[in-house]
Amino acid sequence: MNNKTIIVTGASGSIGSEIVKSLLKKDFSVIMACRNLQKGEAVLSDILKEIQGKEEFVSLEELDLASLASVRRFSESISRKNIRLNGLMNNAGTINRHFSKTAEGFENTVGVNYIGIFLLTQQLLPLLEENSTIVNVTSIMSSPRKINKQFFEFSHQKFSQFSSYSQSKAALMLFTSSLAEQTKGKLFVNAADPGIVDSNMITMHRWFDPLADILFRPLIKSPKKGAIPLVNAQLSYQTGYLFYGNKSEPIPQKYNQHQLKEWLWKETKKIVCPDNGNGVNN
């Protein structure tokens, strides 16, 4: 074994479980971070049936990105166990049909896909070994035009399922760009897009779902194929790149040079860890 440990969030999902399998096959140790431990245990059991002899190299931890308190408990648990990390795969994500709020009052899609990930990464930065890799899972739906100074103003009237998802992934791309710049020479920080994958994420809870299941799902990627760019990003020695398919390219300038990139970082930092000396303090 190479004794390197990687955290995978959303590890009980279809893509997450494929990431875990791939990393275990490559002799990494994996911490599966899951919101639903019962589901996580079932998925872990299936993984160990498929990949035998890895029981000592994979573990399960509870993590709900919709709760900043849960994020802090998770980080504290990892710290107490003196686990030195070599990677963080921010794979967990959601797309909500209806407006709802996280425990701290953020719109749920933005809270899970961006704010929770921001805090989790900040909390774990002191535990990451030098030359570790952070991967943030983005989407083709990401649009930097969705980022404005009303980003943190949430209401039922303003909510749109697709707009909120697009906004959350764009914010994550800006975060990835900033973090790659700030940690250059110490860490590798990249984004990865799995593409359109046959998973529960593409269930929109709308009238056309049954039709999409018949006509659309057979044509899109399997979770195993969707995991490929994510694992490639995790194993990369590049930083500030976007991985998709079997390719990679520098994060597009529309994110690197976004006029609100610094503003978004500072405002998010004020919200999630105003008095926390850990992490990157810019």
Q: What is the 3-state composition of the chain as percent helix, strand, coil, each rounded to the nearest 5?
A: 45, 20, 35
Q: Is 237 a catalytic residue?
A: no
Residue-wise DSSP of 128-193: EEEEEEEEEE--TT--GGG--TTTT---TTT--HHHHHHHHHHHHHHHHHHHHHHTTTT-EEEEEE
Pairwise CA distance, residues 136 & 187, whole Å: 13
Which is nearest to 14 in space by CA: 166, 200, 193, 236?
200
Structure tokens at 117: 């990930």
Element (H, E) at 89: strand 85-90
* Residue from 114, 165, 241, 255 carrying the catalytic annotation: 165
* Contact between 133 and 5 (Cβ < 8 Å): no
- Give φ, ψ of 192 to 5 degrees: -145, 135
Q: What is the DSSP letter of 51?
A: S
**Among all chains, which residue has been given the structure tokens 């059991």?**
45
Looking at the annotation, which residues are catalytic?
A: 165
